[in-house]
Amino acid sequence: MSKIIDFYRALEKKKKIVFLIASFVLFLSILRVSLWAIRRNKTPTPKIYLKYLKSPNKEEKKYGIYIAGNLKIKEILPEIEKIFLQDEDLELKRISAYSIGQIDFNKLLSYLDSSDKTLKEITFETILKLDRKNIEILINRFDKEDKETKLKILSYMKSPAYQDKLLKIIENKDEDLEIRQKALGLIKDVGKWEEIEVSLWNCYYEEENPEFKKNIYDTIKEFQKRGK
C-alpha cells in the first residue's frame, strides 16, 4: 500500500487526476461484479414467486406456478390452489394441479372427490402424469368413483395383473352394466384361462341379466376355442 502512495505522490497533477479516475472506475466495476454474484447466488424467497403468481402476465404466472412446484415451496400452496380452483384458464389449472402434486400429493388426491367435473378430470390426468404407477391408487378407489371415471380407469387395466379386479367387477351385480361389460371385454383380452375358468363359470351360473349372462357364456366359449 505504501508503494502505491509513493507512486501517487510522484505523479504530476494531471496524471494524479487520471489515476484517481481510473481507480474509481475499477472500484465501480468490482462492486458491480460483486453485486451481480450476490444476486445470482441469492436463494429465491416465497415472496418472489408469489409476485409471479399474482402477475397479470400469463407467462410469468405459469413460470411462478411451475418453479414453485418443482422447488416444493409449501408456503405458496394456498395461492396455487386458489388458481387451480378459480382461474378459468385450463392451461393454468393443469400447471397448478401439477405443482400441487409436487408440493403435497395427498392434497392433489383430495381433488378426486371434487364435484367439479373439470377439476376431477385434470386431477385424474395429473396423477398419472406425475407417475403412471399411480394408476394403482386410482384402481384402489374404483368402487367409490362415478361411472365416467370408472370407464377411464378400466382403459388402463389392459394387463393380466388386473384380472382378479376385473373378475370382481364382472361379479358385482350392483355395478353399472356398461362397466361390467367393459371389464368382461378386457378379461377376454388379457385373462389367463387356466386361472379364471372356475370364476367365469360361477359368474355365468349366478348372473341374472339374460343378455350379460349370454356375453359371459360367449367369452367362456371364446377361451375354450383358443385352448383347442
Q: What angle do CA 160, 163, 166 make, to 5 degrees?
A: 140
**Do 162 and 154 touch, CB atoms closer than 8 A?**
no
Q: What angle do CA 13, 16, 20 make, to 5 degrees?
A: 145
Question: Is the confidence at residue 142, as pLDDT, over 50?
Answer: yes
Please tell me whether residues 121 and 182 are part of one structural domain.
no
Please tell me whether residues 30 and 68 are part of one structural domain.
no
State phi, psi for 65 to the nearest 5 degrees. Answer: -65, -45
| CA distances, 54 to each of 42, 59, 63, 76, 194 (Å) | 22, 11, 11, 11, 60
Q: How confident is the model at residue 4 (pLDDT cuts 50, 70, 90)?
A: low
Closest CA to 120 of 133, 130, 110: 110
**What's the CA gap between 219 and 183, in Å, rounded?**
12
Beta strands in 131-208 (DSSP E): none
Best mean pLDDT range from 48-52, 53-57, 74-78? 74-78
pTM here is 0.73
Please tell me whether residues 88 and 32 are part of one structural domain.
no
Q: Does residue 220 form part of some domain?
A: yes
Count of domains observed in the chain:
3
**Do 86 and 68 touch, CB atoms closer than 8 A?**
no
pLDDT (0 to 100) of residue 190: 92
pLDDT tens profile 64-90: 898 888 888 899 999 999 999 999 999
pLDDT (0 to 100) of residue 41: 47
Least confident of 56-60, 80-84, 128-132, 181-185: 56-60
pLDDT tens profile 5-22: 555 456 565 555 555 555
**Do 100 and 77 touch, CB atoms closer than 8 A?**
yes
Please tell me whether residues 37 and 65 are part of one structural domain.
no
Burial of 52 (0-12, 13-18, 19+ CB in 10 A): buried
Please tell me whether residues 34 and 53 are part of one structural domain.
no
Structural domain for 119, as ranges:
43-130
Q: What angle do CA 205, 220, 146 make, to 5 degrees?
A: 75
Please tell me whether residues 164 and 219 are part of one structural domain.
yes
Question: Is the confidence at residue 44, as pLDDT, over 60?
Answer: no
Q: Does residue 9 form part of some domain?
A: yes
Q: How confident is the model at residue 31 (pLDDT cuts 50, 70, 90)?
A: very low
**What's the CA gap between 100 and 72, in Å, rounded?**
9
Q: Does residue 137 form part of some domain?
A: no
State phi, psi for 185 to the nearest 5 degrees. Answer: -65, -35
Q: Does residue 87 form part of some domain?
A: yes
pLDDT tens profile 167-210: 999 999 999 999 999 999 999 999 999 999 999 999 999 999 99
**What's the CA gap between 85 and 172, in Å, rounded?**
35
DSSP letter at 132 equals G
